[in-house]
Amino acid sequence: MTTSVMERGRLSVEDFISISQLRPEDIGQIYALAERVKASPQDYSRALVGKQTALIFEKPSLRTRVTFEVGMTTLGGHSIFLDHTKPRLGEREPIKDIAKNLERWVDCIVARTFQHEALTQLAEHASIPVINALSDLLHPCQALSDMFTLREKFGSKKKPLLAYVGDGNNVCHSLMLTVAKLGQVLRVATPPGFEPNEEIVREARAVAKTTGGEISHDYDPRKVVRGADAVYTDVWASMGQEYASHMRAQVFSPYRVTEDLMQAAGPDALFMHCLPAHRGQEVVGEVIDSDRSIVYEQAENRLHVQKALLLLLLRESDGS
């Protein structure tokens, strides 16, 4: 990151579509600010006065919508929710026209879409920051918050070993990219045919080589979780894949996170999930509702990390 960017308290990017865009220094800057915002939210209560954010959502949301709306409000700004479950982006009018209109009314676009291309088109045509609030390919805000949560648990000096068990989906993709940027270790276990995107795996491994991290994949969940500091899972059928739920339940049942699997990781291993969770499917209730579960801390930290992201993308300086 250049000195001028640091002085302005801004990121080295104008949009946040993927972890790929960020330098490790950017992530460090986001985390440092998130820690300050979490510790002293009152110091930032007027930081974004007069700023407006448009929330464009093609998919249902609890954590993402609430944390962005609360985040903008508690920073002194305002958010406008645009329900695009029907029609979806681009169906009523071109995405370019939506971007060109919104850039004249608001200061930022936060979008949750099915097709990742819809986000890249918004970013291409809008002169204001565009934030990826989830696409079928990536979920970068979630992964940033997850690794921030592990940082809180283990400290900034330790590099915890994270094991991911389940579908090689958007959360898995963003975790790989984030862990690689941070120079940490991620082991992934998926059923055959449900591996993460090959291009993203190659990118994450290439980045990991430069940061001292490690990204690996296997089909044996017990092998992957052995010695892990945290075990992460997600739903077996993501939004839009409900039609395949029955088939996926059969394929993924050996990858259910149970007490036995957590014991294979170790007695002190933490459990993580991005939520919503289906107890009895990808995880049993005894694990997600146990003391080792940090799922609600992950959810809380969505607010603090996204507030830091908004501040760094929208404010002129980092002074409070």
* Residue 162 belongs to domain with CATH number: 3.40.50.1370
- Which CA distances in Å does 36 have to 30, 41, 42, 44, 157? 10, 8, 10, 9, 18
Residue 5, pLDDT > 50, answer no
45 and 134 in a common domain: yes
Catalytic status, residue 142: yes
Cβ neighbourhood burial of 7 (10 Å; 0-12, 13-18, 19+)? exposed
**217-272 pLDDT tens trace:** 999 999 999 999 999 999 998 766 665 778 889 999 999 999 999 999 999 999 99
Between CA 295 and CA 184 the distance in angstroms is 20
pLDDT at 316 (0 to 100): 55
Average pLDDT along the chain: 93
Q: Which of 302, 304, 306, 315 is catalytic?
A: 302
Residue 179 in contact with residue 185, Cβ under 8 Å?
A: yes
Residue 163, pLDDT > 50, answer yes
> H or E stretch including 83?
strand 78-83
Catalytic status, residue 304: no
134 and 146 in a common domain: no
**23-45 pLDDT tens trace:** 999 999 999 999 999 999 999 99
291 and 149 in a common domain: yes
Q: What is the pTM of this model?
A: 0.94
Q: Which of 172, 256, 274, 304 is catalytic?
A: 274
pLDDT at 126 (0 to 100): 98
Q: Which of 234, 248, 304, 306 is catalytic?
A: 234
Of residues 91, 94, 93, 130, the one with CA closest to residue 112: 130
pLDDT at 242 (0 to 100): 67
pLDDT at 243 (0 to 100): 58
Catalytic status, residue 151: no
Three-class secondary structure assignment of 132-191: ECCCCCCCHHHHHHHHHHHHHHHCCCCCCEEEEECCCCHHHHHHHHHHHHHCCEEEEECC
**115-128 pLDDT tens trace:** 999 999 999 999 99
Catalytic status, residue 226: no
178 and 40 in a common domain: no
Residue 241, token pair as written in the block: 């894949």
Residue 199 in contact with residue 230, Cβ under 8 Å?
A: no
Of residues 145, 219, 144, the one with CA closest to residue 188: 219
Q: Which of 15, 29, 136, 142 is catalytic?
A: 142
pLDDT at 85 (0 to 100): 85
Between CA 308 and CA 297 the distance in angstroms is 17
Catalytic status, residue 302: yes
Range of the domain at 45: 3-138+301-313
257 and 222 in a common domain: yes
Residue 277, pLDDT > 80, answer yes
Residue 14, pLDDT > 50, answer yes
Structural domains counted in the chain:
2
pLDDT at 63 (0 to 100): 96
Catalytic status, residue 234: yes
Q: Which of 10, 112, 173, 315 is catalytic?
A: 112
pLDDT at 157 (0 to 100): 81
pLDDT at 247 (0 to 100): 87
Greater confidence, 75 or 248? Answer: 75
Q: Which of 63, 139, 151, 273 is catalytic?
A: 139
Between CA 178 and CA 12 the distance in angstroms is 16
